[in-house]
C-alpha cells in the first residue's frame, strides 16, 4: 500500500518549496533517489544505516569522522552524534557545503522524521523534512 508524504522545505529567502514522495514499507521513494526500504540499527557505540539498494553506512555515535570517496572527485567527511534523543549526521563535502540530517522519532514511535539542512556557499541554504512510516515487524 502506498501513502503520500509531504515534504516541506524552506529556502534561505523564505520561500516554501513543497514536494511529494511516496512512503512504502517504512521509507520514502521519490525522484530524489531514496531507497524503498531503509533499516537503522543501533549499538552502544554506533548507528548503522542500510538500504535495499545495497548502500550502507556505519557511523560512530561519539562523533568520530568517516570519509567516503565520491566517484568523479572529492571526499565526503561524515560524522554522527547523539543530541538528546536525536541522532545528528553531518556531511561536509571537500569542495564546500554541508548537509545535516537530524533523525528523530515521533512521540508515538510510529514515524521517523529526518530534518535535512543544506548549507552551500554564498549564504544559500535549504531545509526540508522527510517523514518515514515504520515498517511492520517481520
Q: Could you tell me if residue 59 is inside a domain?
A: yes
CA pair distance 96, 68, nearest whole angstrom: 15
Residue 106 lies in a domain: yes
Residue 56 lies in a domain: yes
Mean model confidence pLDDT for the chain: 74
Structural domain range at position 112: 3-133
| Total-model pTM | 0.71
Question: What is the spatial distance between Cα 105 and Cα 26, in angstroms, rounded to a whole number?
Answer: 13
Taking only the tens place, the pLDDT of each residue in 29-44 is 343 455 566 788 888 8
- Find residue 4's DSSP bridge partners: 22
Cα–Cα distance measured from residue 138 to residue 135, given in angstroms and rounded to the nearest whole number:
9
Q: Would you give the distance in Å from CA 50 to the centre of its chain?
A: 12
CA gap 39, 48 in Å, rounded: 8
Distance CA 135, CA 63 (A): 28
Task: Evaluate whether residue 32 is within a structural domain.
Answer: yes
> Residue 114: which CATH number?
2.40.128
Residue 119, domain member (yes or no): yes
- The total domain count for the chain is 1
Q: Could you read off the pLDDT of 52-63 as tens digits, one per residue?
A: 777 788 999 999
Report yes or no on 138 lying in a domain: no
pLDDT at 127: 93
Amino acid at each position: 500500500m502506498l501513502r503520500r508524504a509531504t515534504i516541506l522545505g524552506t529556502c534561505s529567502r523564505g520561500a516554501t518549496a513543497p514536494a511529494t514522495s511516496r512512503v512504502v514499507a517504512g521509507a520514502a521513494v521519490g525522484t530524489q533517489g531514496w531507497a524503498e526500504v531503509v533499516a537503522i540499527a543501533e549499538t552502544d557505540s554506533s548507528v548503522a544505516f542500510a538500504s535495499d539498494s545495497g548502500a550502507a553506512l556505519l557511523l560512530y555515535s561519539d562523533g568520530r569522522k568517516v570519509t567516503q570517496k565520491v566517484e568523479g572527485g572529492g571526499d565526503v567527511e561524515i560524522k554522527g552524534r547523539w543530541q538528546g534523543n536525536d541522532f545528528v549526521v553531518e556531511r561536509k563535502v571537500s569542495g564546500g557545503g554541508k548537509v545535516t540530517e537530524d533523525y528523530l522519532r515521533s512521540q508515538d514511535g510510529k514515524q521517523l522524521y529526518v530534518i535535512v539542512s543544506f548549507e552551500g556557499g554564498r549564504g544559500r541554504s535549504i531545509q526540508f523534512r522527510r517523514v518515514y512510516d515504520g515498517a511492520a515487524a517481520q
